[in-house]
């Protein structure tokens, strides 16, 4: 599910869970472990990438709908834990967005240090509202930090999906490049960071991201609300209708 490539001191973690790199419980646990182990393994920066045309399609909703309450009660803390691990990583993480990145895929990118997206007929966005899920507060705060309060309200309430150029215009991503250059440009960005005096760069990074890290403190109540919303009959009906629509498209 994850291919690891070391480019000298920069480690690339490529999501590869066909067909669309959807986030399953197993992938979430594996990705968090890989992120947390990277710095202890000698990496000084991380790149999170996907397969060509797909960064991550977000949560694997069909799979999650088949899980019972104990499993869902484990899943949501794990998902929040992954986002927190990206946010609080001891080393910089660059999102090399190699294609579509809706919902959970956009969440991963939101909490990285830098975001590069492939140019083309792709979309990125926190479209949870469109599929019947309210956007969790910590994710809304992360979005607001990137694009500002008014844009965050507009994008979150409508669950807007953005083209690469639209995402660049509002500040959701930091750079748009051809698909074949996404990882290369991510490497160049990491190399520029690592060429700086290390202690000065890392201490300033910690200070600059302290507000973002603080979002993940004391999340027990939010996680409980998210689990309760998941089991709400209206939410379940909307998610099952979504899966049915997606199934019809693939036939």
Count of positions (residues) in the chain: 251
**Integer Cα distance of 238 and 244 in angstroms:** 10
What CATH number does domain 2-194 carry, 3.90.550.10, 3.90.226.10, 3.40.50.2300, 3.40.640.10? 3.90.226.10
Distance between CA 234 and CA 217 in Å, rounded? 30
Which residue is catalytic, options 50, 104, 105, 159? 104
Name 214's bridge partners: none
User: Residue 28 corresponds to which tokens in the numbers above?
Assistant: 């979430």
pLDDT tens per residue, range 179-204: 999 999 999 999 999 999 999 999 99
What are the tens digits of pLDDT across the range 59-113? 999 999 999 999 999 999 999 999 999 999 999 999 999 999 999 999 999 999 9
Q: Is 21 annotated in the active site?
A: no
Closest to 190 in 3D by CA, of 40, 7, 57, 2:
7
Q: Are 187 and 10 in contact (CB under 8 A)?
A: yes
Least Cα distance to 119 among 46, 188, 180 occurs for: 180
Whether the Cβ atoms of residue 81 and residue 133 lie closer than 8 Å to each other:
no
Residue with tokens 């660049």: 168
pLDDT in tens, 103-151: 999 999 999 999 999 999 999 999 999 988 999 999 999 999 999 999 9
Tell me: pLDDT of 176 over 60: yes
Does the pLDDT at position 247 exceed 80?
no
Please state, as a whole number, how many other Cβ atoms lie within 10 Å of the Cβ of residue 115: 26
Catalytic residue among 48, 125, 127, 146: 127
Based on the residue annotation, tell me whether 127 is a catalytic residue of this protein. yes
Give the residue with greater pLDDT, 35 vs 42: 35
The pLDDT value given to residue 14? 98
At residue 132, the pLDDT reads 87
Single out the residue of 83, 91, 9, 1 nearest to residue 50, CA to CA: 1
Annotated catalytic residue, options 46, 58, 128, 168 = 128
Q: What is the pLDDT at residue 249?
A: 62
Q: How high is the pLDDT of residue 41?
A: 83
Q: What is the pLDDT of residues 208-224, one digit of tens each?
A: 999 999 999 989 999 99
- Per the CB < 8 A criterion, the answer to whether 79 and 42 are in contact is no
CB atoms within 10 A of CB 211: 10
Active site residue 181: no
What is the token pair recorded at 108? 């991963």
- Residues 38-65 have a mean pLDDT of 94
Report which of 165, 80, 56, 151 is spatially closest to residue 117, judged by C-alpha positions.
165
**pLDDT-based confidence at residue 248 (cuts at 50, 70, 90):** low
Task: Out of 31, 59, 64, 135, pick the active-site residue.
Answer: 59
CA distance 208 to 192: 18
């Amino acid at each position: 599910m994850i291919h690891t490539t070391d480019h000298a001191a920069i480690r690339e973690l490529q999501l590869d869970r066909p067909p669309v790199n959807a986030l399953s419980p197993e992938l979430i646990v594996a990705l968090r472990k890989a992120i947390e182990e990277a710095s202890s393994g000698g990496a000084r920066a991380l790149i999170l990438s996907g397969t060509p045309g797909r960064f991550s399609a977000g949560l694997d909703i069909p799979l999650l709908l088949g899980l019972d309450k104990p499993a869902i009660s484990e899943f949501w803390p794990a998902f929040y834990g992954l986002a927190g691990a990206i946010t609080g990583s001891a080393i910089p993480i660059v999102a090399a967005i190699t294609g579509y990145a809706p919902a959970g895929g956009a969440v991963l990118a939101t909490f990285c240090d830098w975001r590069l997206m492939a140019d083309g007929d792709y979309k990125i966005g926190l479209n949870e509202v469109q599929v019947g899920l309210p956007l969790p507060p910590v994710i809304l705060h992360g979005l607001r930090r990137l694009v500002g309060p008014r844009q965050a309200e507009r994008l979150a309430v409508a669950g807007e999906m953005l083209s690469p150029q639209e995402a660049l215009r509002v500040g959701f991503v930091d750079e748009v490049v051809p698909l074949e250059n996404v990882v290369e440009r991510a490497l160049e960005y990491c190399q520029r960071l690592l060429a700086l005096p290390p202690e000065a760069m890392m201490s300033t990074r910690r200070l600059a991201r302290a507000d973002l890290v603080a979002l993940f403190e004391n999340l027990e109540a939010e996680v409980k609300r998210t689990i309760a919303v998941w089991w709400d009959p209206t939410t379940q009906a909307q998610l099952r209708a979504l899966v049915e629509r997606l199934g019809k498209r693939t036939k």
